[in-house]
Amino acid sequence: SLPARLKKTIVMVGMMGAGKTAVGRALAARLNVPFLDSDHEIEAAANLTIPEIFARDGVAYFRQKERQVISRLLSEQCGVLSTGGGAFLSGENREIIKENGVSLWLQADLEVTWNRVKHRNTRPLLQTENPRETLSALYEVRVPMYAKADLHVPSDGQVSIEGMVDRALQAL
């Protein structure tokens, strides 16, 4: 039987590289519910990649689209929703997510997230002189926001995706 909380969408939040998409997808499969992904929806609607959207329209525009997409997805159907790393930072977004979902923070160390993102150039926020420093600064500012999530699930890098799903299910 499904956890009682699945009357609401489970919203994966946390740093880029924490595993929100991989774990969210596997969690949805295990629960046999739809998997939704806000970054993917934004890209599909614009027919552009996230770096292209940032370059063309800027970060404020992206955040606006992100808020609209999250609020639409949460109103449509229940499932597991993976969000971008910036989605849980504004009070407005947190309210939308708290009202309509159960937020689950994938809590990964800075080192773990760095190792997952360093070889990819899909994160426009890390296109800086010193991406490691940039990530570290984002991490410091963001952790207190992510900590406001309903559920905290540690992701230490050694655990498999299915192991993370087990942890998430226990937390639910």
Q: Is 87 among the annotated ligand-binding positions?
A: no
Kindly give, in sequence order, each residue whose CB lies less than 8 Å from that of residue 143, ignoring residues fewer than 6 positions away: none
Alpha helices, DSSP H, located in 17-171: 20-31, 38-46, 50-76, 91-100, 110-117, 131-146, 161-171
Closer to ligand S3P at the Cβ: 87 or 102?
87
Question: Rule CB under 6 A: is residue 123 a binding residue for ligand S3P?
Answer: yes
Closest CA to 123 of 153, 89, 86, 68: 86
Task: Determine the interface stretch with ligand S3P among 78-86, 108-116, 144-152, 159-167 (rule: CB under 6 A).
Answer: 78-86
Which residue number, 78 or 146, has a Cβ lying nearer to ligand S3P? 146
Q: Which of 19, 24, 79, 85 binds ligand S3P (CB under 6 A)?
A: 85
Q: Identify the residue whose tokens are 């969210």.
A: 24
Which parts of this chain interact with ligand S3P (CB under 6 A)? 16, 20, 39, 50, 84-86, 123-125
Please report, in range form, the residues annotated as the binding site. Answer: 17-22, 39, 63, 85, 123, 142
